[in-house]
Chains A and B, each alone.
Chain A
């Protein structure tokens, strides 16, 4: 981990110097047509401008936003598998390794065709060098004793460094305008011709379809590689397929998101989706949606505010969704966890209180040989019945009164309400049946016990409940509510 951060720090330093240099060189040549809205020359977009972007009225915005949305869907899907295979850093190495390919493809384009900025050629270069980078990681790992993370750190830095050097050289190539290449680093909603749109969306859609088709295979690869291999799945082929999918998404995202940030666009939606579900299918779907939404919003916002690099905005959108998911996520979100913990505590507290009251009443019935009637009990008795503090008791009683289970007649005594009496009887009976079950069936109990269940009948068979009931020692309960009402009147 330390090593990795170290390498990344290095990258950032190189990058800042490099970008500064590029900016100086291209201050004059800075193309104006990169955003459809920049020409208006306004800092903050007007309402109409916002509306235009949201509704995708401008042709160029439409292309850019749509392609980013499709990219987001694909990266959300593919990113899930990358995350579950624990290969995030591999994705990072892959994207950084794309840079030299871009430079070399540009040089080749210029020398062969006289024009280097064909997107297809640049992206093919990026793909090749990205995959060469991944290949180098595997080679280093398999031929030496160097560990995965170090191998990836080395490849990531060396390839990125080489890319920066090559791009630096390209800037000074005579007769070639290399302006715009630096956008591959940070991403930019550039203007887009229809051909490019088809290329990017086409690749993204293919990646999307492939990862849906390979869902089962990639799942078993990510979960249990050894078992997959024993079944005869070609694990290395599957791994390579997964990396090719990652490469496809990376390359498609180079222009909009940039190679530094693409890894965040792959991993963040998947990590966010994980907070909402424990089901892989749902996670895949959600992650794709989150990726798509952040791509759409990010590209839209960046079209409105051309000063903001698209990649950064897209990733910030994804991060925003991530944080919201982390807090509110319905499966593992922070709030959900603490809420369900609190709810459970409240439930247990209520059960303890009602059972305590019932047991104290039961004692009174026995001692004074009364029929089971709802006798008032004192706070003092309650306080001594369990190890709980006066404050706890007070709070529980207050809640009991609020839930209409307890009637606190004065400050000294309390008794159960009509519904509270029924509830207390039920809870006590349930509790005792469980105790008997655990005691008499200890051998099979552990895997069956869910004492949180509202009643034993939901878990155990009717036969078992009857057997337990035969052992149950409990004052019989007046069945009808009228009976209780009558008893109550008698009591007064």
Chain B
């Protein structure tokens, strides 16, 4: 299968990863193709994510970043290919995986408090029919402390600001106590302080040897935040260590002729060089 692709595709179009998958990579994606209504959105994604890395997923709007995450989590059907977590199908490794969805994906007017939402991260461990108890709430409160909003634990979620809601989602993922995290745009519409808090948290996770995949839009900070990058535009344009992969050339391939974005990217690169 892999050989076939190697022969078919021009070398420059192939993702910058080795074709033989390592059996214990936190996440390995084999020739994944995803389609909505018969329109393919992701083509032949083939990736191994190394352990303990903070990975940025970057690409233009509609590139399929959210789709990639959803496909990894079995949230949408795939047309072909498979996804493995530590060498086993996702379905068997759920307890190792944490997920931070896009903030807009839920109704924040729901009658629950922040700590209730965070406790949802423990539901799977609890299993069917078993109710949330005090000790679980304690775990949830600790997670909220870790993201710096412990004092808002009992507030109804609609009375939180957008950045605070984002932190609630992060705390829920922390409560899951996973080793592989997927985060869809955790930096969307948060202020500098929250962004810094989230970055600290991500570094913290990395320090504990956890692997985190983060959809990120701000090209200016990619080099600063992530040690691994996946450049995506319906296919993997490039993937690998940031310094190798996050280049002008690759960005042009990912973003095409979108000039303003290219200018932004150029700016980002000069900044990255300086930094």
Contacts and interface: CB of A to CB of B under 8 A. Distances in A.
Are A and B physically bound partners?
A: yes
Interface of A: 84, 86, 213-217, 219-220, 222-224, 226-233, 274, 277-280, 283, 443-444, 446-448
A194 B116 CA distance: 43
Nearest to B158: A278
Contact of A216 (B105, B131, B151, B176): B131
B123 A224 contact: no
Nearest 9 A/B pairs, CB to CB: A278-B156, A231-B124, A230-B99, A230-B73, A232-B94, A280-B111, A224-B106, A213-B129, A223-B110
A229 B126 CA distance: 15
Nearest to B99: A230
Contacts, number: 88
Contacts of B164: 447
Nearest to A224: B106
Contacts of A231: 94, 99, 123-124, 176
Given A223-B117, A280-B111, 18 more contacts: A84-B111, A215-B131, A216-B126, A216-B131, A219-B120, A223-B107, A223-B112, A226-B75, A229-B73, A229-B75, A231-B176, A232-B124, A233-B123, A278-B112, A279-B113, A447-B148, A447-B152, A447-B163
Contact of B75 (A220, A230, A278, A279): A230
Interface of B: 70, 73-75, 91, 94, 97, 99, 101, 105-107, 110-113, 116-117, 120, 123-124, 126, 128-132, 148-149, 151-152, 156, 161, 163-164, 172, 176, 191-193
Nearest to A448: B151
Contacts of B129: 213-214, 216-217
Nearest to B106: A224
A86 to B, nearest CB: 8
Q: Is the interface of A mostly helix, strand, loop or mixed?
A: helix
A232 B74 CA distance: 9
Q: Is the interface of B mostly helix, strand, loop or mixed?
A: mixed
Contacts of B124: 231-233
B99 A447 contact: no
Contacts of B149: 447
- The residue in A213, A216, A274 that gathers the most chain B C-beta atoms within 10 A of its C-beta is A216
B105 to A, nearest CB: 6
B74 A229 contact: yes
B12 to A, nearest CB: 35
Nearest to A279: B111
B181 to A, nearest CB: 11
Contact of B111 (A213, A224, A277, A443): A277
Given A278-B111, A283-B111, A230 B193 contact: no
Given A232-B91, A274-B111, A279-B113, A220 B123 contact: yes
Contacts of B131: 215-216
B128 A217 contact: yes
Given A226-B101, A277-B111, A447-B149, A216 B123 contact: yes
A375 B191 CA distance: 46
A220 B116 CA distance: 10
B95 to A, nearest CB: 9
27 contacts: A86-B107, A214-B129, A216-B126, A217-B123, A219-B120, A220-B120, A223-B107, A223-B112, A226-B105, A227-B99, A227-B101, A227-B172, A228-B123, A229-B74, A229-B75, A231-B94, A231-B176, A278-B111, A279-B112, A279-B113, A279-B156, A280-B110, A280-B111, A280-B116, A447-B149, A447-B193, A448-B151
